[in-house]
């Protein structure tokens, strides 16, 4: 079956489009959780979920047990969803066991249970192996990742930020949504944590403004971000590496640094679009930050070429995806990016 983005899938799901099998493929845990919840909402009535929702782990449960459940109907749940997480484990089976597994998959998909939707989950699959190829043919593959295109990435992140707020029973102002999109476009799970903090912060007001985001989310990283921008603008790789080492020793996480650098790049690009006569107070409104911070952003924006910022932002998004792989040296990825910016 053709693949689908998470956003496209959620739209089709809301229209009642049913498929026998779905593969949720990707590292974004928030998107995966959202897709799971929407699948259940679309297929199994709330009163029937005790009988109509089953969960298996590919590492612990046999394919025979999974298919047995998929082929067993219940009078209390006319339709059911069967989730199977961690199917990367199947790739590690011996060649003989993998071949048997593929035969079992083929046998089921020849006559899939009409009352069951099977949902397979994996952070990543080797597209050269039969498992990935077979599921691509038999299941709807949904990419639970943010888009690679920066504009599309920020746009979807903004929409998901509004969804996060709605789930918590609060309203997110448009300016606040734009600010949170900058955070969410790097890592949705981190944005969800920040949204939880914001919802608690605004309390009974039930409305999150850009000022709230500035006070609770942006300010926490502002000092480090602009200090880092000053080091990078100086174009001294040695000094940049010393500064980066100090951040790591203070406990900064690679993913958080990538996120801060991406936010910094976007703000510097926005600052470069401002007219030369813009005051720090006018810039504060345009950049949704405090006047002193906006003044610093405008100053730094003049020191780093636009082409370098655009290329750097693209590299940061690519690095963010690589950081989600367990088999990488995360510190080395950040060091390479900082050296690139500082050169």
Task: Quick: pLDDT tens for 251-264.
Answer: 777 877 777 788 78
Q: Which residues constitute the domain of residue 35? A: 4-143
DSSP secondary structure string for all residues of 98-146:
HHHHHHHHHHHHHS--TTEEEEEEES---TTSHHHHHHHHHSEEEE-S-
Nearest to 287 by CA among 303, 306, 305, 266: 266
Q: Are residues 86 and 133 in the same domain?
A: yes
Q: Which one is predicted more confidently, 320 or 113?
A: 113
pLDDT of the residue at 118: 96
106-130 pLDDT, tens digit per residue, is 999 999 999 999 999 999 999 899 9
Residue with tokens 């749940």: 77
Q: Are residues 158 and 305 in the same domain?
A: yes
pTM given for the model: 0.67
Per-residue pLDDT averaged across 44-57, rounded?
93
Q: Are residues 130 and 174 in the same domain?
A: no
Per-residue pLDDT averaged across 215-232, rounded?
66
Q: Of the candidates 92, 109, 143, which is a domain's last residue?
A: 143
Q: Are residues 95 and 179 in the same domain?
A: no
Q: Of the candidates 110, 143, 176, which is a domain's last residue?
A: 143
Q: Which one is predicted more confidently, 115 or 294?
A: 115
Q: Are residues 159 and 236 in the same domain?
A: yes
- Pairwise CA distance, residues 161 & 242, whole Å: 35
Q: Of the candidates 143, 168, 185, which is a domain's last residue?
A: 143
188-202 pLDDT, tens digit per residue, is 777 888 889 899 988
Asked if 83 contacts 22 with a C-beta cutoff of 8 angstroms, the reply is no
Q: Are residues 56 and 156 in the same domain?
A: no
- Pairwise CA distance, residues 192 & 172, whole Å: 13
Beta bridge partners of 74: 77
Q: How far is CA 80 from CA 69, 107, 141, 315, in A?
A: 10, 20, 19, 42
Q: Which residues, including other chains, have CB under 8 Å from residue 291's CB and lie 6 or more apart?
A: 280, 281, 283, 284
- CA 296 to chain centroid, in Å, comes to 29
Residue 297 pLDDT exceeds 90: no
Q: What is the pLDDT confidence band of residue 80, given thresholds at 50, 70 and 90?
A: very high
140-187 pLDDT, tens digit per residue, is 999 988 887 767 777 888 888 888 999 899 999 888 887 787 777 667
Q: What is the pLDDT confidence band of residue 295, given thresholds at 50, 70 and 90?
A: confident
Q: Which one is predicted more confidently, 318 or 278?
A: 278
pLDDT of the residue at 223: 53
Q: What are phi and psi of 202, to 5 degrees?
A: -80, -20
Q: Are residues 209 and 308 in the same domain?
A: yes
pLDDT of the residue at 248: 82
Q: Domain containing 57 — which CATH number?
A: 3.40.50.300
Count CB atoms within 10 A of the CB of residue 275: 7
- Pairwise CA distance, residues 118 & 141, whole Å: 12
Q: Which residues, including other chains, have CB under 8 Å from residue 89's CB and lie 6 or more apart?
A: 58, 59
∠ Cα 269 274 279 (to 5°)? 125
pLDDT of the residue at 5: 76
Q: Which residues, including other chains, have CB under 8 Å from residue 80's CB and lie 6 or more apart?
A: 43, 44, 51, 52, 53, 54, 70, 73, 74, 115, 116, 117
* Domains: count for the chain: 2
Q: Which one is predicted more confidently, 47 or 334?
A: 47
Q: Are residues 269 and 285 in the same domain?
A: yes
Per-residue pLDDT averaged across 231-244, rounded?
79
pLDDT of the residue at 224: 64
Count CB atoms within 10 A of the CB of residue 166: 11
Q: What is the pLDDT confidence band of residue 39, given thresholds at 50, 70 and 90?
A: very high
Asked if 263 contacts 222 with a C-beta cutoff of 8 angstroms, the reply is no
Q: Are residues 163 and 242 in the same domain?
A: yes
Q: What is the pLDDT confidence band of residue 219, given thresholds at 50, 70 and 90?
A: low
- Pairwise CA distance, residues 32 & 186, whole Å: 16
Q: Are residues 124 and 173 in the same domain?
A: no
Q: Which residues, including other chains, have CB under 8 Å from residue 68's CB and lie 6 or more apart?
A: none
Of all residues in the chain, the percent with pLDDT exceeding 90 is 31
Q: What is the pLDDT confidence band of residue 68, given thresholds at 50, 70 and 90?
A: very high
Q: Are residues 109 and 203 in the same domain?
A: no
Q: Which residues, including other chains, have CB under 8 Å from residue 297's CB and lie 6 or more apart?
A: 226, 267, 268, 270, 271, 283, 287, 289
Q: Domain containing 328 — which CATH number?
A: 1.20.272.10
pLDDT of the residue at 174: 84
Residue 87 pLDDT exceeds 90: yes
pLDDT of the residue at 24: 95
Of all residues in the chain, the percent with pLDDT exceeding 70 is 93
Q: Are residues 155 and 135 in the same domain?
A: no
């Amino acid at each position: 079956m053709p693949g689908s983005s998470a956003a496209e899938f959620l739209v089709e799901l809301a229209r009642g489009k049913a498929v026998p099998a779905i593969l949720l493929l990707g590292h974004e845990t928030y998107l995966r959780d959202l897709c799971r919840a929407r699948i259940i909402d679309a297929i199994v009535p709330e009163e029937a979920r005790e009988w109509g929702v089953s969960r298996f782990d590919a590492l612990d449960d046999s394919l025979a047990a999974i298919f047995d459940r998929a082929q067993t109907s219940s009078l209390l749940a006319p339709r059911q969803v069967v989730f199977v997480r961690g199917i990367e484990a199947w790739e590690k089976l011996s060649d003989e066991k993998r071949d048997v597994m593929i035969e079992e998959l083929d046998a089921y998909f020849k006559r899939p249970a009409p009352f069951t939707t099977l949902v397979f989950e994996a952070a990543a699959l080797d597209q050269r192996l039969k498992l990935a190829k077979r599921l691509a043919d038999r299941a709807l593959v949904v990419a639970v990742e943010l888009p690679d295109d920066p504009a599309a990435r920020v746009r979807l992140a903004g929409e998901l930020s509004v969804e996060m707020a709605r789930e918590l029973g609060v309203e997110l102002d448009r300016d606040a949504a734009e600010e949170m999109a900058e955070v969410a476009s790097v890592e949705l799970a981190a944005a969800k944590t920040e949204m939880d903090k914001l919802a608690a912060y605004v309390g009974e007001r039930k409305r999150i403004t850009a000022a709230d985001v500035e006070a609770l989310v942006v300010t926490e990283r502002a000092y480090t971000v602009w200090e880092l921008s000053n080091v990078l603008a100086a174009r001294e790789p040695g000094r940049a590496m010393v500064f980066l080492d100090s951040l790591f020793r203070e406990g900064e996480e690679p993913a958080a640094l990538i996120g801060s650098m991406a936010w910094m790049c976007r703000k510097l690009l926005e600052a470069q679009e401002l007219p030369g006569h813009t005051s720090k107070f006018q810039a504060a409104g345009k950049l949704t930050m405090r006047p002193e911070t906006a003044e610093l952003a405008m100053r730094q924006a003049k020191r780093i070429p636009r082409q370098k910022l655009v290329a750097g932002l693209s590299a940061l998004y690519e690095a963010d995806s690589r950081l989600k792989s367990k088999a990488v040296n995360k510190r080395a990825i950040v060091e390479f990016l900082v050296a690139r910016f500082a050169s």
